[in-house]
Amino acid sequence: MDLKSLSQRLGLSMTTVSRALNGYEEVSEATRTRVMEAARENGYRPNPVARRLALGRAEAIGVVIPNPPGDFADPFFIELLAGMGSVFEAASLDLIVTAAPEGPAELPVYRRLVEGRRVDGLIVGRTRRHDERIEYLLDRDFPFVVHGRTTTSRPYAYLDMDNAQAFVTATERLIGLGHRRIALINAPAHLAFAAGRHDGYERALGAAAIAVDPSLVVVCDLSEQDGHRIALSLLDLPRPPTGILCANDTTALGAMRAVKSRGLVVGRDVSIIGYDDLPFAGHTDPPLTTMHQPIRPAGARIAEMLRARMSGTPPEELQEVWRPKLLLRGTDGPCTTAGGTAR
Chain residues in the site for DNA (CB under 7 A): 2-4, 11-16, 18-19, 21-22, 25-31, 46-47, 50-51, 53-56
Compute the least distance from the CB of residue 156 to a copy of itself, in Å. Answer: 24
Report the residue number, 19 or 147, with the smaller CB distance to DNA.
19
Peptide bond into 297 cis (omega under 30): no
Of 15-23, 78-86, 161-169, 315-323, the segment contacting a copy of itself by CB under 8 A is: 78-86
Site for a copy of itself in 242-281 (CB under 8 A): 250, 253-254, 256-257, 260, 278-280
For position 129 contacting a copy of itself by CB under 8 A, the verdict is: no
- For residue 81, the partner it binds in DNA, a copy of itself, none, with Cβ less than 5 to 8 A by kind, is a copy of itself
| Degrees, nearest 5: CA angle 200-191-288 | 60
Compute the least distance from the CB of residue 60 to DNA, in Å. Answer: 16
Report the residue number, 131 or 276, with the smaller CB distance to a copy of itself.
276
Determine which residue in the list 18, 27, 38, 77 makes contact with a copy of itself, applying CB under 8 A: 77
For position 14 contacting a copy of itself by CB under 8 A, the verdict is: no
Contact 326, 245 (CB under 8 A): no
- For residue 93, the partner it binds in DNA, a copy of itself, none, with Cβ less than 5 to 8 A by kind, is none
Strands 325-327, 289-292: pairing kind = antiparallel
- For residue 42, the partner it binds in DNA, a copy of itself, none, with Cβ less than 5 to 8 A by kind, is none
Determine which residue in the list 21, 36, 91, 96 makes contact with a copy of itself, applying CB under 8 A: 96
Compute the least distance from the CB of residue 86 to a copy of itself, in Å. Answer: 6
Site for a copy of itself in 198-227 (CB under 8 A): 224
Helix 3-10 and helix 14-21, axial crossing angle in degrees, nearest 10: 100
For position 79 contacting a copy of itself by CB under 8 A, the verdict is: yes
For position 53 contacting a copy of itself by CB under 8 A, the verdict is: yes
For position 232 contacting a copy of itself by CB under 8 A, the verdict is: no
Expressed in angstroms, the distance from the first to the final Cα of the chain is: 77
- For residue 65, the partner it binds in a copy of itself, DNA, none, with Cβ less than 5 to 8 A by kind, is a copy of itself
Report the residue number, 30 or 209, with the smaller CB distance to DNA.
30
- For residue 15, the partner it binds in DNA, a copy of itself, none, with Cβ less than 5 to 8 A by kind, is DNA
Report the residue number, 50 or 328, with the smaller CB distance to a copy of itself.
50
| Side-chain-side CA neighbours of residue 171 (13 Å) | 29
Rounded to whole angstroms, how far apart are CA atoms 335 and 256? 16
Determine which residue in the list 14, 34, 36, 85 makes contact with a copy of itself, applying CB under 8 A: 85
**Would you tell me which residues interact with a copy of itself (CB under 8 A)?**
43, 45, 47-50, 52-53, 58, 60, 65, 67, 72-75, 77-79, 81-82, 85-86, 88-89, 94-100, 109, 115-118, 224, 250, 253-254, 256-257, 260, 278-280, 282-283, 285
